[in-house]
């Protein structure tokens, strides 16, 4: 592999992943981030040298996520252990040294951050030669901040244009929408698919040529497969102006099983889902997710397990014929939002103000929080109350006077944990947590 110098057309992030899929490989990615440059470099090198179809991740710390760069610098000065890499606070030369000999043509690196106003992060990334990131004006505002959605959307508009302008230097930057992962759990697939597509359209409107659409594993594999097929179909219909795109699946983002057996089973389920639907990239989680920040070794173990599961999984299946409910829900929401205003910079905040988009259980001030969902007897996420979402009854739209009770909500939140830990207990496998609860890496 040839080490890259300054960013170039060779950095085509999505193109690399598409090539992996053509070769029959599922691209794997850990959610790894460390505050110390030497340890961050060690983690990236461990992933690169593992002999797996994997790419690198630099996940940023919580201070940087909130643009609290002085606090990040002070923490570094005090020798505190951060829960991610302080990209802006750390001297640029430290980052370039950290990446030297690591990022290469066969090993792209993505920055993951969680920031609602990412202009400074994007500028620092470009200065360091990093050209791939993720997030979005909705998906990195509603879950992670309290700033107005209109402020976040304007900030993301400026940041995306910064990435798009790099094309003048021969650099094709890449952005992945985080819209398919809203709150990590208890969001019906139709809304997740719509949000992911809308954010990709937002990126494309600003001239970005390389994007990826995300979806987070939920509670029913058949419904999840339907969602991923709907996401691919909508991307094919809507993203004609971008040069390349792909899909990315997240292993379950909610409350994780506390047993190693349960964690492995949930990861294996996500791998089979990715292979079944032809999804190009999988964000992998480890068995330590319920307890603390995973170590480098645990991340590599999870990548190896995922690769073994991918090799053993049956090949992709064809999508269903005709229009599924998830597709029609997402199609309706995308069309309704786009018709609100000439650009999505205007339309996205307006959609939330009008209740045409409403994320269940999300407490951000700009989210109406009237919509509700539950897990039905088959493990499918279904709408309980669609609030003002423009979904007819035939597509699952409904209003209810009765609320979702606390016991129902708790049962739904712990669905996978209870199911898989119970299976592990029945098999005689004991709890594996160490009792320490370190601060988690962002999302």
Half-sphere exposure (Cβ direction) of 142: Cα atoms closer than 13 Å:
27
Q: Residue 400, exposed/middle/buried by CB under 10 A (0-12, 13-18, 19+)?
A: exposed
Give the model confidence (pLDDT) of 356-387 as tens digits. 999 999 999 999 999 999 999 999 999 999 99
pLDDT at position 436, please?
A: 33
- What CATH architecture does domain 9-312 belong to? Alpha-Beta Barrel (3.20)
Sole residue written with tokens 């790419």: 55
Categorize the per-residue pLDDT at 7 as very low, low, confident or very high, splitting at 50, 70 and 90.
very low
- Name which of 116, 118, 128 is nearest 40 in CA terms: 128
Give the model confidence (pLDDT) of 276-324 as tens digits. 999 999 999 998 877 788 899 999 999 999 999 999 999 899 999 999 9
Strand order in the sheet with 210-216: 27-29, 281-283, 244-250, 210-216, 174-177, 132-135, 109-112, 56-59
Strands 381-385 and 372-375: antiparallel
Mean pLDDT lowest for which of 8-17, 58-67, 314-323, 431-440?
431-440
pLDDT at position 424, please?
A: 61
Residues 6 or more apart from 111 whose CB is under 8 A from it? 57, 58, 59, 60, 87, 121, 125, 130, 132, 133, 134
Extract the tokens encoding 224.
Answer: 């999840």
In the chain, what are the helix, strand and coil shares in percent, each to the nearest 5? 45, 10, 45
pLDDT at position 429, please?
A: 56
DSSP for 336-369, written as a single string: HHHTTSSSHHHHHHHHHHHTSS--TT---TTS--
pLDDT at position 4, please?
A: 34
CB 9 within 8 A of CB 170: yes
Q: State the Cα–Cα distance between residues 352 and 347, nearest whole angstrom.
A: 9
- Name which of 250, 304, 232 is nearest 139 in CA terms: 250
- Does residue 57 carry a pLDDT above 90? yes
Categorize the per-residue pLDDT at 435 as very low, low, confident or very high, splitting at 50, 70 and 90.
very low
Tell me which H or E stretch contains 151. helix 149-165
Q: State the Cα–Cα distance between residues 108 and 371, nearest whole angstrom.
A: 39
Q: State the Cα–Cα distance between residues 285 and 270, nearest whole angstrom.
A: 10
Categorize the per-residue pLDDT at 55 as very low, low, confident or very high, splitting at 50, 70 and 90.
very high
Give the model confidence (pLDDT) of 108-127 as tens digits. 999 999 999 999 999 999 99
Residue 205 has φ and ψ, to the nearest 5°, of -60, -30
Average pLDDT over residues 13-30: 91
Q: State the Cα–Cα distance between residues 320 and 317, nearest whole angstrom.
A: 9
pLDDT at position 430, please?
A: 52
Determine the 3-state secondary structure of 29 from DSSP. strand
Global pTM? 0.92
- Does residue 224 carry a pLDDT above 60? yes
pLDDT at position 146, please?
A: 95
Average pLDDT score, the chain: 91
Mean pLDDT lowest for which of 4-18, 134-148, 295-309?
4-18
Give the model confidence (pLDDT) of 179-215 as tens digits. 999 988 899 999 999 999 999 999 999 999 999 999 9
Average pLDDT over residues 218-237: 97
Higher pLDDT, 90 or 414: 90
Determine the 3-state secondary structure of 292 from DSSP. coil
Residues of the chain with pLDDT > 70: what percent?
93
- Does residue 438 carry a pLDDT above 60? no
- Does residue 103 carry a pLDDT above 90? no
CB 442 within 8 A of CB 114: yes
- Does residue 178 carry a pLDDT above 60? yes
Extract the tokens encoding 336.
Answer: 């309704």
pLDDT at position 428, please?
A: 62
Q: Residue 416, exposed/middle/buried by CB under 10 A (0-12, 13-18, 19+)?
A: buried
Average pLDDT over residues 47-66: 96
- Does residue 177 carry a pLDDT above 70? yes
Residues 6 or more apart from 6 whose CB is under 8 A from it? 129
DSSP symbol at 3: B
DSSP symbol at 439: P
Sole residue written with tokens 């230097």: 169
Determine the 3-state secondary structure of 96 from DSSP. helix
Determine the 3-state secondary structure of 110 from DSSP. strand
Distance between the two ends of the chain, CA-based, in angstroms? 31
CB 443 within 8 A of CB 178: yes
Q: State the Cα–Cα distance between residues 311 and 307, nearest whole angstrom.
A: 6
CB 10 within 8 A of CB 34: no
DSSP for 389-404, written as a single string: ----GGGT----SSPP
Measure the CA angle with vertex 265, ends 259 and 271; round to 5°: 140
Q: State the Cα–Cα distance between residues 177 and 89, nearest whole angstrom.
A: 25
């Amino acid at each position: 592999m040839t080490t890259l110098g300054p960013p170039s057309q060779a950095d085509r992030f999505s193109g690399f992943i598409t090539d992996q899929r053509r070769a029959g490989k599922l691209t794997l990615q850990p959610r790894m981030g460390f505050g110390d440059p030497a340890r961050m470099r060690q983690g990236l090198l461990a992933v690169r040298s593992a002999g797996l179809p994997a790419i690198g991740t630099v996940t940023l710390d919580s201070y940087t996520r909130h643009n609290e760069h002085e606090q990040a610098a002070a923490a570094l000065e005090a020798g505190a252990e951060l829960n991610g890499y302080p990209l802006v606070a750390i001297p640029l030369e430290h980052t370039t040294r950290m990446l030297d000999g690591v990022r290469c043509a066969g090993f792209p690196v993505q920055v993951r951050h969680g920031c609602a106003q990412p202009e400074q992060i994007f500028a620092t990334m470009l200065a360091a030669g990093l050209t791939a990131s993720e997030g979005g004006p909705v998906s990195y505002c509603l879950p992670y901040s309290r700033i107005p959605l209109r402020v976040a959307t304007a900030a993301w508009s400026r940041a995306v244009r910064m990435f798009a302008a790099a094309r003048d230097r021969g650099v094709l930057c890449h952005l992945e929408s985080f819209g398919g992962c809203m709150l990590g759990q208890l969001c019906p697939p139709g809304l997740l698919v719509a949000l992911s597509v809308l954010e990709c359209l937002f990126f494309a409107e600003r001239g970005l040529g390389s994007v990826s659409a995300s979806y987070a594993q939920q509670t029913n594999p058949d419904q999840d497969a339907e969602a991923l097929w709907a996401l691919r179909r909508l991307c094919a219909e809507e993203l004609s102006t971008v040069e390349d795109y792909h899909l990315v699946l997240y292993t379950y983002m909610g409350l994780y099983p506390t047993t190693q057996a349960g964690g492995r089973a949930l990861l294996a389920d996500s791998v089979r889902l990715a292979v079944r639907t032809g999804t190009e990239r999988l964000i992998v989680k480890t068995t330590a997710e319920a307890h603390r920040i995973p170590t480098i070794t645990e991340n590599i173990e999870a990548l190896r397990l995922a690769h073994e599961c991918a090799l053993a999984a049956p090949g992709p299946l064809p999508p269903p014929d005709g229009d599924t409910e998830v597709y029609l829900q997402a199609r309706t929401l995308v069309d309704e939002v786009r018709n609100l205003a000439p650009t999505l910079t205007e339309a996205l905040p307006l959609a939330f103000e009008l209740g045409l988009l409403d994320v269940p259980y999300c407490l951000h001030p700009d989210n109406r929080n009237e919509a509700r969902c539950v897990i039905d007897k088959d493990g499918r996420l279904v709408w309980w109350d669609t609030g003002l979402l423009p979904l007819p009854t035939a597509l699952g739209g409904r209003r209810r006077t009765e609320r979702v009770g606390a016991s129902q909500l708790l049962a739904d939140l712990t669905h996978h944990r209870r199911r898989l830990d119970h299976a592990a207990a029945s098999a005689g496998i004991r709890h594996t947590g160490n009792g320490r609860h370190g601060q988690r890496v962002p999302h």
